[in-house]
């Protein structure tokens, strides 16, 4: 579930909340006023999918396995 930042319209406090949708009405825990969504990045990343890694030339089934292969070969990952 993504993590969004919400700002209180009354007291200005910014809170991070895990929400399925940023359009769901959220109220402030401090004063109970409605909060508005701030545009931020998600807290999770989808940077790994099992499959053939062309950079390594091998089929990789887990992120840990990929990291181990990179360490064994003495390579450095620039971007996932």
Distance linking the first and last C-alpha atoms of the chain: 21
Q: What SS3 class is residue 49? A: coil
Handedness of CA 20, 21, 22, 26 (dihedral sign): negative
- What whole-number distance in Å separates Cα of residue 17 and Cα of residue 64? 29
Q: Higher-confidence residue: 79 or 77? A: 77
pLDDT in tens, 3-27: 678 888 898 888 877 777 667 788 8
Backbone angles phi, psi at 67, to 5 degrees: -60, -40
Question: What pLDDT score does 46 carry?
Answer: 54
- What whole-number distance in Å separates Cα of residue 36 and Cα of residue 28? 10
pLDDT in tens, 27-77: 888 898 998 887 655 444 456 678 887 777 888 888 888 888 888 888 776
Q: pTM score, two decimals? A: 0.44
């Amino acid at each position: 579930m993504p993590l969004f930042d919400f700002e209180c319209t009354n007291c200005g406090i910014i809170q991070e909340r895990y929400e399925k949708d940023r359009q769901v009405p959220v109220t402030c825990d401090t004063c109970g006023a409605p909060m508005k969504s701030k545009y931020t990045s998600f807290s999770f990343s989808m940077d790994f999918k099992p499959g053939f890694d062309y950079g390594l030339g091998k089929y990789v089934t887990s992120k840990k396995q990929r990291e181990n292969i990179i360490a064994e070969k003495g390579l450095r990952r620039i971007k996932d």
